Amino acid sequence: MPPLHELQRAFAAAMMEGKGLTVTTSMRTGPARRSLALYRRLIRNNYVQTLKITYPVLRRLIGGHYFNVFARGYLKRYPSTSGDLFAYGQHFPLFLLQLESPRVLIELARLEWACHELHQVADSPLPSQEWIQTLATVDPSAVTFRLNPTVRLLRCVLPVHRVWYALQPEADGNGIDGLSLSPEEGGLLVTRGRGKIHVRSLSPNQWWLLQAVRDRKTVAVVECMAREFMPDLDLAQFLTGLSDPVMGPVFSLEIHP
């Protein structure tokens, strides 16, 4: 009997690279080969199932057959490195990019990965009224924005959020027909509010402001940016809209002494 480590290494190679298990002579028989084939199938199905759960809209868009082809290719290039499968699909958008897949698939995958991540991040509590009242008395140059953990900003060329909404499980999928996917400037705001994921498109100006929020600029700086470059934007209304408890609060504020 070979040492356990050698045996496990050979078994893993047999699973992932399709090699026979030659480390032990008695495993070269027909029944043993059938056993290995079954394990290979079960292991592969586990990963495909994990990716199906992480990328349900992408799968619905391209169909199960093509999705499985992509998933099997991904498994070969990006083997799992953790006993926890939550992060297994994190490189799938990159994998699609490496394959030079259509941009809509890559951007949709990025959106779905952001949605997947948001399911497990720390909650973002709404600020209390007392705290907001305190804030009004503080110098705006001493207050910085902070993007909440339940938020992702995605730079997308295509409005893939329309595909995402049209192919949700409760949608009949017909809305995908005739959907306009012309390139748009701006980006997407993905939030978790009350346990659900919400996706909103951002105009270029809104995107720029939220970049400043993400970069932890002060309230004074953001106000100045809005005044100078977006005179038509009602900043207070925009920020209030980003504090909607249903959609999930987008930012919090930190007071610096």
Residues that bind other proteins (CB under 8 A): 1, 3-5, 7-9, 11-12, 15-16, 24, 26-27, 32, 34-36, 38-39, 42-43, 46-47, 79-86, 88, 118-123, 149-150, 192, 195
Return the SS3 of 114: helix
CB 123 → other proteins: shortest distance, Å?
A: 4
Nearer to other proteins, 35 or 240 (CB): 35
CB 156 → other proteins: shortest distance, Å?
A: 24
Nearer to other proteins, 25 or 128 (CB): 25
Nearer to other proteins, 1 or 246 (CB): 1
Nearer to other proteins, 43 or 97 (CB): 43
User: Can you tell me the distance from the alpha carbon of 210 to that of 222, in angstroms, rounded to the nearest whole number?
Assistant: 9
CB 73 → other proteins: shortest distance, Å?
A: 17
**Residue 26: half-sphere exposure toward Cβ, Cα within 13 Å:** 3
Nearer to other proteins, 39 or 165 (CB): 39
User: Can you tell me the distance from the alpha carbon of 66 to that of 50, in angstroms, rounded to the nearest whole number?
Assistant: 16
Nearer to other proteins, 49 or 98 (CB): 49
CB 90 → other proteins: shortest distance, Å?
A: 14
Return the SS3 of 150: coil
CB neighbour list of residue 214: distance below 8 Å, 6 or more residues apart:
147, 153
Geometric angle at alpha carbon 58, from 45 and 189, rounded to 5°: 130
φ and ψ of 58, to 5 deg:
-60, -45
CB 81 → other proteins: shortest distance, Å?
A: 6
- Of all helices (H) and strands (E), which one includes residue 204? helix 204-214
Cα–Cα distance list, 214 to 82, 221, 243 (Å): 30, 13, 15
User: Can you tell me the distance from the alpha carbon of 159 to that of 163, in angstroms, rounded to the nearest whole number?
Assistant: 8
CB 7 → other proteins: shortest distance, Å?
A: 7
